[in-house]
């Protein structure tokens, strides 16, 4: 956390924030919820041409009641859904509440939780240096290009800062990875066409087919020099989470998917999982070996920037293999499942529910690296947090937007409830000439004048919550997050 910040994260969570406002807040809750529902209904009519997906809202009263009941049951049965458009345009299949979305960078929170679970079990300490967990055997398996950054003398990974004449090894903690302050380059952040050297150097063939092992993608960046000293500043890099995913598999002896299923996913809507319903999952092969019921398809709408006319709508290409994104953005979930994850972690008399300790959740929520300091937005660990005042005891908002394969999945919680907006329609605005040229080149190497799908989803969130929600963090160099 920056030295000039003094946020206090001890306190009673979102319920505590509500109760501190007294009974007047409770009396206003139902009216507020009713007003928001009307607002969303109007919004869905306005955006029907440019939005396809599911919007949901869960009021805080339902969340509170779920913890007051003896069963401590899920509150998601009280969710209000707004399904807009089609999840499969080729077959005219309309969206339904059970749609399973790729949640992109919302995946990162699950990985952060897994790391704290391992700390609670004595497997690691999040302040440990990842350098000490990578052996010579591990490094050889990465098949990394370039000069090796593994120190045979010290028997550990030894990255150095780009352009520095110092030969000193830079130590990177697990906390540095989770708060995006490691300095590691982000070659996997190039899906929006920003191919600025030297940090974006993957090939189209790298994303079409999952190789079957996370280690194969560590080799894309492990030998690259660091952009800055670890802990010095914030820079969004998916590579951090690829490395964390590798560590989870290495230390547990389990695949990332198996670990998540047995330690986190099983606590999310367990009754539906017992019935075999798809609610949350990690399939690195994207359905290649099994069908995923209710899985959505994603699309891109091409709009003429001069006339605002739609030129065409097509399937999203290229398709990013979930296995390549792994812990950076490879999970799939329904809106209900992801909301339930937030309910368990950030609400109730004890934060974390059956998944994690209260103390560990508060570590995840600490405001660590500023993304938009003027608005008090900070990257925590796998989430963005906004604190109302410097002495606030709990964030006023916890939020995130994941983006992958033309899909944008936004979630925000405040003291009034949990709001989601999951969309699978991306809008690319360009000239007719660029559109024609696009037919003869790769999407990865074509720069659009503007991609509006993500911004539209954020605008919905902002309108419903009544505040500006900065949940799409731009890295300090080029590239866009998943």
Q: Which CATH superfamily is domain 111-257 in?
A: DD-peptidase/beta-lactamase superfamily (3.40.710.10)
Residue 444 CA to residue 73 CA, distance in Å, equals 45
Reference 240, options 227, 258, 255; nearest CA is: 227
Which residue would you say has higher pLDDT here, 480 or 306?
306
Residue 430, strand partner residues: 304
| pLDDT band at residue 458 using 50, 70 and 90 as cut-offs | low
Q: Does residue 394 register a pLDDT over 80?
A: yes
Average pLDDT over residues 444-448: 28
DSSP 6-39: -----S-HHHHHHHTT-HHHHHHHHHHHHHHHHH
| pLDDT band at residue 471 using 50, 70 and 90 as cut-offs | very low
What pLDDT score was predicted for residue 194? 41
Tell me, yes or no, if the pTM score tops 0.75.
Answer: yes
Average pLDDT along the chain: 81
- Judged on CB neighbours under 10 Å (0-12, 13-18, 19+), 169 is middle
The CATH fold of domain 13-106+272-465: Beta-lactamase (3.40.710)
| pLDDT band at residue 454 using 50, 70 and 90 as cut-offs | very low
Which residue would you say has higher pLDDT here, 307 or 317?
307
Which residue would you say has higher pLDDT here, 181 or 20?
181
- Interhelix angle 358-365/335-346, nearest 10 degrees: 110
List pLDDT tens digits, range 200-236: 555 555 556 678 899 988 988 899 899 999 999 988 8
- For β-strands 280-281 and 80-84, DSSP reports them as unpaired
Q: In what order do the strands lie in the sheet with 407-414?
A: 80-84, 53-59, 417-423, 407-414, 397-404, 384-386, 377-379, 369-372
What pLDDT score was predicted for residue 9? 52
CA 255, chain centre distance (Å) = 20
Lowest-confidence segment of 109-123, 154-168, 335-349, 379-393 by average pLDDT? 379-393
List pLDDT tens digits, range 274-287: 999 989 999 998 88
List pLDDT tens digits, range 37-72: 887 888 788 777 888 999 898 988 888 888 876 555
Cis check: omega of the bond before 139, within 30 degrees of 0: no
Lowest-confidence segment of 114-123, 182-191, 249-258 by average pLDDT? 182-191
Average pLDDT over residues 161-185: 93
Where exactly does CATH 3.40.710.10 map onto the chain? 111-257
Q: Does residue 178 register a pLDDT over 90?
A: yes
- Interhelix angle 107-120/322-329, nearest 10 degrees: 60
Please give the C-alpha separations between residue 199 and each of 230, 232, 327, in angstroms, as whole numbers: 17, 19, 20
What pLDDT score was predicted for residue 450? 29
What pLDDT score was predicted for residue 429? 81
Highest mean predicted confidence (pLDDT) among 253-267, 298-312, 402-416, 465-479 = 253-267
| pLDDT band at residue 461 using 50, 70 and 90 as cut-offs | low
Residue 214 CA to residue 204 CA, distance in Å, equals 18
| pLDDT band at residue 316 using 50, 70 and 90 as cut-offs | confident
Which residue would you say has higher pLDDT here, 142 or 194?
142
Instruction: Name every residue whose Cβ is closer than 8 Å to that of residue 132 and which is 6 or more positions away in sequence.
Output: 156
List pLDDT tens digits, range 259-315: 999 999 999 999 999 999 989 999 998 888 888 889 999 998 888 888 989 999 998
Instruction: Name every residue whose Cβ is closer than 8 Å to that of residue 344 and which is 6 or more positions away in sequence.
Output: 267, 268, 352, 353, 354, 355
Please identify which residue in the block is written with the tokens 């040229």.
437
| pLDDT band at residue 19 using 50, 70 and 90 as cut-offs | low
What pLDDT score was predicted for residue 3? 39
Longest dimension (CA), the chain: 67
What pLDDT score was predicted for residue 321? 78
- 75 dihedral zone (left: phi>0; alpha: psi -120 to 50; beta): alpha
What pLDDT score was predicted for residue 248? 98
Question: For residue 365, how many other CB atoms are within 10 A of its CB?
Answer: 23
| pLDDT band at residue 386 using 50, 70 and 90 as cut-offs | confident
């Amino acid at each position: 956390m920056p030295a000039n910040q003094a946020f206090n994260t001890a306190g009673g969570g979102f319920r505590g924030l509500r109760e501190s406002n007294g009974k007047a807040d409770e009396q206003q809750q139902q009216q507020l919820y009713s007003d928001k529902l009307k607002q969303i209904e109007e919004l869905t009519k306005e955006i029907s041409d440019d939005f396809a997906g599911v919007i949901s809202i869960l009021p805080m009263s339902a969340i509170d009641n779920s913890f007051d009941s003896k069963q401590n049951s899920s509150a998601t049965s009280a969710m209000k859904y707004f399904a807009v458009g089609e999840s499969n345009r080729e077959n005219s299949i309309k969206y339904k509440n059970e749609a399973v979305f790729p949640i992109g960078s919302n995946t990162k929170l699950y990985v952060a939780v897994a790391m704290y679970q391992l700390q609670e079990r004595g497997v690691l300490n999040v302040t440990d240096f990842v350098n000490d967990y990578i052996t010579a055997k591990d490094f050889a398996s990465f098949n990394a290009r370039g000069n090796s950054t593994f120190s045979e003398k010290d028997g550990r990974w030894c990255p150095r800062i780009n352009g520095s004449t110092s030969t000193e090894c830079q130590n990177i903690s697990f906390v540095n990875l989770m708060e995006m302050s490691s300095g590691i380059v982000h070659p996997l952040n190039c899906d929006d066409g920003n191919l600025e050297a030297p940090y974006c150097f993957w090939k189209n063939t790298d994303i079409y087919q999952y190789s079957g092992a996370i280690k194969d993608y560590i080799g894309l960046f492990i030998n690259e020099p660091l952009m800055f000293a670890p802990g010095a500043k914030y820079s969004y890099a998916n590579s951090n989470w690829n490395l964390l995913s590798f560590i989870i598999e290495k230390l547990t002896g389990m695949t990332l998917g198996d670990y998540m299923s047995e330690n986190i996913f099983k606590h999310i809507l367990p009754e539906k999982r017992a019935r075999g319903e798809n609610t949350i999952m990690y399939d690195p092969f994207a359905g290649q070996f099994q069908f995923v019921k209710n899985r959505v398809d994603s699309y891109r709408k091409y709009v003429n920037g001069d006339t605002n006319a739609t030129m065409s709508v097509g399937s999203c290409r290229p398709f990013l293999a979930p296995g390549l994104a792994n812990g950076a953005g490879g999970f799939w979930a329904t809106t209900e499942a992801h909301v339930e994850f937030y309910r368990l972690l950030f609400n109730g008399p004890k934060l974390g529910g059956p998944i994690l300790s209260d103390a560990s959740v508060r570590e995840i929520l600490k405001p660590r690296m500023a993304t938009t300091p003027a608005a008090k937005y900070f990257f925590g660990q796998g989430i963005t947090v906004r604190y109302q005042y410097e002495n606030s005891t709990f964030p006023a908002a916890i939020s995130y937007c994941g983006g992958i394969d033309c899909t944008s999945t936004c979630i925000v919680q405040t003291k009034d409830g949990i709001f989601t907006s999951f969309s699978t329609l991306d809008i690319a605005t360009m000239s007719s000439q660029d559109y024609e040229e696009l037919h003869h080149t790769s999407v990865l190497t074509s720069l659009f004048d503007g991609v509006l799908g993500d911004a539209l989803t954020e605008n919905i969130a902002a309108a419903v919550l009544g505040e500006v929600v900065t949940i799409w963090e731009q890295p300090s160099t080029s590239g866009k997050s998943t």
